[in-house]
Amino acid sequence: MYNAAIASNITVKQIASYADTVQMCFSKGLGAPIGSIIVGPKDFIERARHVRKAMGGGWRQSGVIAAAAHVSLDHAEATIRADHERAKKLAKMINEATPDALRKKVYAKEEDITNMVLLHCENGVTVQQMNDHLQKHDILAMTFDAKRIRMVLNWNVCDENLDTIVTVYKKFVESL
């Protein structure tokens, strides 16, 4: 939700206003160790609490985790903006590292980027080849579809990691 709000230059409140209920995770992108929130009408929340407790989801000592989620929420906008900037930077770095002869085979879309970079693999370069190479070098990416790999940036990815990703990417394109 924060990624969509920042990318669209609107508030989370504006996005949430179109829904009766909203759920948001505080981990990954926002950097809390664990935690989510669910917001909605009183009867819905009462039912959700009942189901959570019935499924064994009660946790009396949750204050420390709630504090971490609160801190991540306080810094959410800056964190998400930094992720978006890093993603744009990574896409540009990948494209600059792609030799002209391979530009129609492998590239990263530089428009409409949030915290995700989509690597396009076409004309004989397969998603499987690229993903295998990345994973062999401890870079986690996900097959998005038959022609794209998704790389997600979050608070835990720094500028030095971008350099590492591009170095590994260069090795891949050199092997083609």
Please tell me whether residues 107 and 162 are part of one structural domain.
yes
> How many domains is the chain partitioned into structurally?
2
Q: How confident is the model at residue 71 (pLDDT cuts 50, 70, 90)?
A: very high
Q: Is the pTM of this model over 0.85?
A: yes
The range of the structural domain enclosing residue 23 comes to 2-74
**Angstrom distance (rounded) from CA 116 to CA 173:** 21
Q: Do both 89 and 159 map to the same domain? A: yes
Final residue belonging to a domain, choices 27, 56, 74: 74
Residues 18-46, mean pLDDT to the nearest whole number: 91
Please give the residue that has the higher pLDDT: either 127 or 111: 127
The C-alpha atoms of residue 23 and residue 29 are separated, in whole angstroms, by: 14
Q: What is the CATH number of the domain that holds 158?
A: 3.90.1150.10
Which string of DSSP letters, residue by residue, matches 91-155? HHHHHHHS-GGGTTTEEE--SS-SSEEEEEE-TT--HHHHHHHHHHTT---EEEETTEEEEE--T
The pLDDT score that the predictor gives to residue 35 is 84
- At which of 45, 74, 103 does a domain end? 74
* Judgement on whether residues 87 and 164 belong to the same structural domain of the protein: yes
**Mean pLDDT for the stretch of residues 167-175:** 95
Same domain, 91 and 139: yes
pLDDT, residue 59, reads 76
